[in-house]
């Protein structure tokens, strides 16, 4: 706050009456220093709490060696998800080109009654096994290292393999949402790859055959 320091005021008898002298203002900066420290603390804390969270995504590695062997997937555990506009999700099990068991395209949406329910049913065995392992960890029957080892074994042997693709009408939020679903349902391996022309044709055909769905 400002403090006014005044010299002797008034005038004595016999002295010539002159202009009144004003004291020089003195500003006390102590409250401003306290405010500065408060602001500094505030910005440090907010910058710490607002650190971006990273999400790990499995992306396909380009094949450089023509003779390099590719990883073989269990067809029975493979599901392909096709993201499209209006929060629509198409999916099919198996692989394209299988003449004996050609894949059938299905349609659903996001949410527990949609793609999450589809994935949980497809991944029920691995999901239930991991939940039991989590309960053992909570009860202290196993340590963290043992839990991770057993969980990885379950994911590798029993969990579903998910291939995620998106057309031009899909939104970025849809991709983020489907990646969240991978964590919820305990999917084993999942990767984002480019959608093929054959799959786009499948979506187009589905819309033509089911105009009201």
pLDDT at 133: 94
- The total number of structural domains that make up the chain: 1
Q: Is 188 within the bounds of a domain?
A: yes
User: Residue 1: inside a domain, yes or no?
Assistant: no
The residues, any chain, with a CB within 8 Å of residue 1's CB and separated by 6 or more, are: 27, 28, 31
Return d(Cα 181, Cα 111) in angstroms, integer.
Answer: 9
Q: What is the pLDDT of residue 104?
A: 93
Burial pattern 73-86, b for ≥16 Cβ within 10 A else e, equals: eeeebbbbbbbbee
What Å distances lie between residue 126 and 18, 50, 95, 150, 203, CA to CA? 98, 35, 21, 11, 30
* Any domain includes 47: no
- Whether residue 172 is contained in a domain is answered as yes
Torsion-angle region of 202 (φ positive above 0: left; ψ -120 to 50: alpha; else: beta): alpha
Which pLDDT score is estimated for 128?
95
Per-residue pLDDT reduced to its tens digit, 150-165: 999 999 999 999 999 9
Is residue 55 in some structural domain? no
Q: Tell me, what's the pLDDT at 99?
A: 82
Residue range(s) defining the domain that contains residue 155: 76-209
Q: Give the pLDDT score at 206.
A: 94
Dihedral sign, CA of 113, 114, 116, 118? positive
- Whether 4 is covered by a domain: the verdict is no
Whether the pTM exceeds 0.75: the reply is: no
The pLDDT of residue 101 is 83
How does residue 65 score in pLDDT terms, banded at 50, 70 and 90?
low
Tell whether 150 is covered by a domain.
yes
| Closest C-alpha among 129, 114, 115, 181 to residue 159 | 129
What is the rounded distance in angstroms from the CA atom of residue 206 to the CA atom of residue 213? 10
Helix axes 115-122, 124-139, angle to 10 degrees: 80
Q: Which range has the worst mean pLDDT, 13-17, 45-49, 193-197, 204-208?
A: 13-17
Residue 130 within any structural domain of the chain: yes
* Percentage above 90 pLDDT, the chain: 52
Reading the block at residue 12, the tokens are 């004595």
**With contact defined as beta carbons under 8 Å apart, do 207 and 90 qualify?**
no
Whether 114 shows a pLDDT value over 70: the answer reads yes
pLDDT digits (tens, 9 = 90+) for 169-182: 999 999 999 999 99
Q: How confident is the model at residue 112 (pLDDT cuts 50, 70, 90)?
A: confident
Tell me the pLDDT band of 14, cut-offs 50, 70 and 90.
Answer: low
């Amino acid at each position: 706050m400002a403090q006014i320091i005044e010299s002797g005021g008034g005038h004595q008898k016999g002295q010539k009456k002159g202009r009144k002298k004003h004291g020089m203002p003195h500003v006390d900066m102590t409250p401003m220093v306290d405010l500065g420290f408060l602001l500094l603390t505030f910005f440090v804390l907010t910058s710490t709490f607002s650190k971006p969270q990273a999400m790990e995504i499995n992306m396909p590695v380009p094949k450089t060696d023509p003779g390099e062997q590719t990883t073989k997937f269990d067809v029975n555990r493979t599901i392909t998800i096709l993201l499209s506009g209006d929060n629509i999700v198409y999916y099919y099990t198996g692989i394209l080109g299988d003449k004996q068991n050609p894949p059938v395209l299905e349609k659903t949406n996001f949410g527990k009654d949609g793609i999450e329910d589809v994935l949980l049913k497809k991944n029920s065995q691995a999901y239930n096994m991991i939940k039991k392992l989590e309960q053992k960890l909570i009860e202290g029957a196993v340590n963290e290292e043992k839990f991770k080892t057993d969980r990885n074994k379950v994911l590798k042997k029993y969990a579903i393999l998910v291939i995620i693709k998106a057309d031009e009408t899909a939104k970025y939020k849809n991709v983020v949402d489907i990646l969240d679903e991978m964590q919820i349902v305990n999917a084993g391996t999942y990767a984002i790859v480019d959608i093929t022309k054959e799959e786009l044709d499948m979506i187009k055909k589905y819309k033509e055959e089911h105009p009201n769905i």
